[in-house]
Amino acid sequence: MPERIVLVTDHPWSSIDAEVETLAGVGARLVLAQTGEQAELVELARDADAILTCFARTSEAVVAAAERLQVIGRYGIGVDNIAVDMASARGVLVTNVPSYCEHEVAEHALALMLALARRIPIYDRGVREGDWSLQRGAPIHRIHGGTLGIIGFGHIGRVLAAKASALGLTVIAHHPRSPDAIAAAGYEPVELRELAAQADFISLHVPLTDETTNLIDEEFLRAMKPTAVLVNTARGLVVDQEALVEALRSGWIAGAAADVFTPERLDPGDPLLAVPNLIATPHVAYYSEESLVDLGRLAAENVAAVLAGRMPAAIVNREVLDLERWQHLARA
């Protein structure tokens, strides 16, 4: 079996043992990028049969340079860092791991909602400053009996709905492409502006697309209850950050929490970080020790399957399967 090369553009965790073991089974050797910079990735991609990527930009230039490329495997769910159209034009499969970190992200979103609702950061800062007063975080409203609006009812949205229901929250959801899935799960499908007006808590779980860029804009934020909070564990560009800063400063909404931003690493002086009713975390909602093991194995299994001539578990650009080069996968 000829040796295959799998380029790993980046991996923000210490061990890739699962990937090494999985891909060795199909005669593949991993090559790790050192910087993840475009020039380096273009050069390393020239000999790559496959690419595994997490956050690094797998650009059109990278895809074009990889003449032997068969598959790009995403460590995760969203593929906005991958030139998917270019890959499709070249007949390259793009895979992801849609079932990964469902519980982690849902739990993180729920933790942020509860921290906002119970004013945990505000009281924590107060105690450290010697202020033990109830008034510092008032008013607080009961979580039980409130309404959670979920925007995006995929794997994570459904897990969050179940967890929130167990806390006594009424769940409504918006998913324009499959409202029937919401009703089938036992929840109420609603239009976007209706969700903004009704929900006490709003949690975002949509991929980044042209349709979802700045989905949460000034109009949406003004339509929210002044007592409501917004949680974003999806992608930074789903929210208009300038509008969010104004919403928090002006009291259009009570608070917000975000695990994702635009850009991904905000300058410490960014106006959003100066707003006291914001909780910020550094894109860690996906993280648990268990989820990282799962992620490495499942992403590598997708790539290994393609290299071995088998159908991977998840394909983003399924239209590529119609090409002659992939007919053997359809029959496998």
User: Which active-site residues does the annotation give?
Assistant: 235, 264, 283
Residue by residue, DSSP assigns 98-153 as TTTTHHHHHHHHHHHHHHHHTTHHHHHHHHHTT---GGGG-----STT-EEEEE--
Q: What whole-number distance in Å separates Cα of residue 22 and Cα of residue 178? A: 35
User: Do 61 and 37 meet the contact criterion of CB atoms below 8 Å apart?
Assistant: no
φ and ψ at residue 67, rounded to 5 degrees: -65, -25
Q: Where are the beta strands (DSSP E) in 131-228?
A: 147-151, 170-174, 188-189, 201-204
Question: Which helix (H) or strand (E) element contains residue 327?
Answer: helix 327-331
Count of residues making up the chain: 332
Tokens of 268: 């410490």
